[in-house]
A and B are shown apart, each in its own frame.
Chain A
Amino acid sequence: MNAVLKIFLSMSVSGSLLILALLLGKQFWKDKISRQWQYYIWLVVVLRLLLPFGPEAGLMGKAYQAVDQAIFRTALLPPQQQSSHNGFIPAVGAEQHNETVNSPSDNAAARLFHDIGTLPINYVWLVWLVAALGLLIRKITIYQSFMQYIKAGLTPVSDIGRLDKLFISAEHSGIKKPIELCVNPLVSSPLLIGFFHPCIVLPNADIPERDFQCSILHELTHYKRRDMFYKWLVQVTVCLHWFNPLVHLMSREITKACEFSCDEAVLAKMGGSSAQDYGKTLLNAMAAVGKYKENLGAVTLSENKQLLKERINAIMNFKKKSMAIRFLTGALTLCVVFGAAFVGVYPVAAAANPTAGKPQATVDKAPAQENTGTSSDDYAAQAERYYEADSLPLFEITFPRLDKNAQKKWLEKFYADGDCAFFSVAVRWLDTNSALFTDFAEKAYADDEMAVFSILTDCMSEAELELWLDRALEDGNWAFQSILFDKLNRSEEFDEQEKEWAEAQAAEYRAVGVTVDGKDYYYQSQLVNIFLDIRANQSFCTLNMNPKGTVNIKIIRDAENKITGVSYMTEAEVVELLGDME
């Protein structure tokens, strides 16, 4: 769910950029461009704020990848690094005590801390959603109570003459549907209510013919343009983006633009010469001060005094736009629409939880690849660049778009470099059944590369894990058993195995004169301080330290891993070992 919130945040940010651009632009085109355009252009922004679509290469995608990278580093890397320490630097071993490989429990602890740290973050989406719903419900109830208030004092206009005039005007405006005409002395200015059964409410039926005509035309225009729906669409947007002050500002701007453009449309219909009459109507409407806050949801003739002043100015300066202006407007529209498309949203694929990003996701990403129309060569260059920049998330996004050969080359490189982090993000996009994947698993198993193998097991299904476990049990490969048991959540079985193994190991030590008692090692009846047993292939080691001990010893093994003897450690060896550990 946080992914949804992330997408919403990105939409909010890209929407904000557009809002800022339009607000800035308004200073330039205020009186020059059609008010209609200034009204409807906001629709592009609203859609940008509501629709989570956009090219992945969009500005937001880039910005968010950068942000994500930072989050990824802080949140995800620690446990990974931990696992790499366990296996990749075997000489250090990371096993301070007797337990040779304790990475599973270590990892679990790290994960737990990590989970606790991210717990509040995981529920941010809930806060957002609850607030959004609360606001929406509040808006609806306010609207409903306003409707009740209006409807309570409603008297239908029974003057056939007035009704006829209304419908003649309506027909001129292209409205076929019958519209109710009512009077409610409680409203301050004419307004339109109802989505599907529209009703024009006048504050007073006994108004001069001219005023009536203007008011009716204004409200009919609102109805004709479905301004109610636009208004509510904006309200829903505001509720969903409640945390964004720019969206609230936009809502106010749209309300203003709505009235301006409506005035413009009315004047265009009545002819410029009627500007004065229309302006007077507005002033008359304003003479009655509102007794109820009626801005929400209903479309009124006048919203407030400041706005009224601006509107009258605009009305008096009304003239038809020239051809050049119209052309310019078209170009501007294209700019805004492309701008909206370009700022884009946070790419959905990258928003998916990286740890959950199993190879199936490659299927989803395939079409996106076609859309952006970037060739595989470009991706190869990109991958190279992201790798150079040490940018894990960007690399992860690019990797699945590379062709098979390039993927193989990269994986081999990471494998050779022991670059666990990059290896793990890359291997996630492989199909576990692919030859490439099984090759690497075999290779890691053969090379005793526990860290790499552990990463691979993350992607394996249970059945595959079982197969590997059988093999590890057969080979007596204790370290790999540990990994596989842990992955299969069967650590208890492993503990038993471990006990057996520890007994076998103790017997081996006894043969060369070392006795083990719990965590204490004795050699020739002396308590051992440093006990070191490095396996031939350096895959893992046993290191035990007991400050009370008096001697430092190490087990000597031959090429076949057989114990051949014990020797005291030299001073230099001890220094090297301890130095390594720090």
Chain B
Amino acid sequence: MVQQISDAELEIMKIVWGNPEEVTLFPYIMDMLAARGKPCQKNTLIVLLSRLMNKGFLSAKKIGRRNEYTTLVSETEYQTAQTKNFLNKIYEGSAKGLVSNLISGDLLADEEYEELKRLLEKGKGQQ
């Protein structure tokens, strides 16, 4: 069960997920936050990171005086969990409702629509 995280925490998770390196270091997150135009105090980040660790999103390996953070929950896992949540809340668990809403609400660009269609065909072929 993936826990809920706050927006600020999600911001940090996105930085860690987006990091091509295996492990993420504290200064990297600080820099990235500043680059995204959301700078914060060192201690604020420490507190947010420790909350993420408590929720099981991150693990930290102490090497000397610096922490190496690794993700325990992948971005996809998180998205899936969040989508399920969203589905349950808004569409009573019906994926069809969501997709039809996406189409009828004109929320999909043409390319996206084509790609989804191909994905559906492929999924059918596998079954």
Contacts and interface: CB of A to CB of B under 8 A. Distances in A.
A167 B48 CA distance: 13
A163 B38 contact: no
Interface in B34-86: 38, 40-44, 46-48, 50-51
Contacts of B7: 158
A198 to B, nearest CB: 11
Interface stretch (A72-80, A177-185, A397-405): A177-185
A181 B41 CA distance: 14
14 contacts: A156-B51, A158-B8, A158-B9, A158-B48, A163-B41, A163-B43, A163-B47, A167-B42, A167-B44, A170-B43, A178-B47, A179-B43, A179-B47, A180-B47
B100 interface: no
Nearest to A170: B43
Contacts of B126: none
A163 B51 contact: no
A156 B46 contact: no
A18 B5 CA distance: 54
A486 B9 CA distance: 84
B44 A160 contact: yes
B6 interface: yes
Contact of A164 (B6, B44, B46, B51): B44
B22 to A, nearest CB: 26
Interface residues of A, number: 15
Contacts of B44: 160, 163-164, 166-167, 178
Given A163-B40, A164-B41, A158 B46 contact: no
Interface residues of B, number: 15
Nearest to A177: B43
Given A158-B7, A158-B8, A160-B8, A167 B51 contact: no
A158 B8 CA distance: 6
A163 B12 CA distance: 15
Contacts of A178: 43-44, 46-47, 50
Nearest to A156: B51
A168 B9 contact: no
Interface string A497-531: 00000000000000000000000000000000000
Contacts of A160: 8, 38, 40, 44, 48
A177 B7 CA distance: 24
Contacts of A163: 40-41, 43-44, 47-48
Contacts of B48: 158, 160, 163
A501 to B, nearest CB: 86
A181 B51 CA distance: 11
Contact of B43 (A156, A158, A159, A167): A167
Contact of A168 (B41, B46, B51): B41
A370 B12 CA distance: 67
Interface string B1-17: 00000111100000000
Given A160-B38, A163-B41, A181 B8 contact: no
Contacts of A166: 43-44
Given A178-B46, A178-B50, A167 B8 contact: no
A75 B46 CA distance: 67
Contacts of B8: 158-160
Interface string A140-170: 0000000000000000101110011011101
Contacts of B51: 156
Nearest to B49: A178
A180 B44 CA distance: 9
A58 to B, nearest CB: 49
A486 to B, nearest CB: 72
Given A158-B7, A158-B9, A164 B40 contact: yes
A519 to B, nearest CB: 91
A203 to B, nearest CB: 19
Nearest to A176: B43
Contacts of A170: 43
A160 B41 CA distance: 9
A68 B9 CA distance: 69
A164 B48 CA distance: 11
Contacts of A168: 41
A1 to B, nearest CB: 47
A414 to B, nearest CB: 73
Given A160-B8, A163-B47, A164-B40, 19 more contacts: A156-B6, A156-B51, A158-B7, A158-B8, A160-B38, A160-B48, A163-B40, A163-B41, A164-B41, A164-B44, A166-B43, A166-B44, A167-B42, A168-B41, A178-B46, A178-B47, A178-B50, A179-B43, A181-B47
Contacts of A180: 47
Contacts of B47: 163, 178-181
Contacts of A156: 6, 51
B29 to A, nearest CB: 13
A181 B44 CA distance: 10
What are the 4 tightest A-B residue pairs by CB atom distance, in nearest-first order? Answer: A158-B6, A167-B43, A163-B44, A178-B43
Contact of A167 (B9, B41, B50): B41
A158 B55 CA distance: 14
B115 to A, nearest CB: 35
Contacts of A181: 47
B41 to A, nearest CB: 4
A151 to B, nearest CB: 12
Scoring B9, B42, B43 by chain A CB atoms within 10 A of each residue's CB, the highest score goes to B43
B11 to A, nearest CB: 9
A290 B60 CA distance: 39
B92 to A, nearest CB: 27
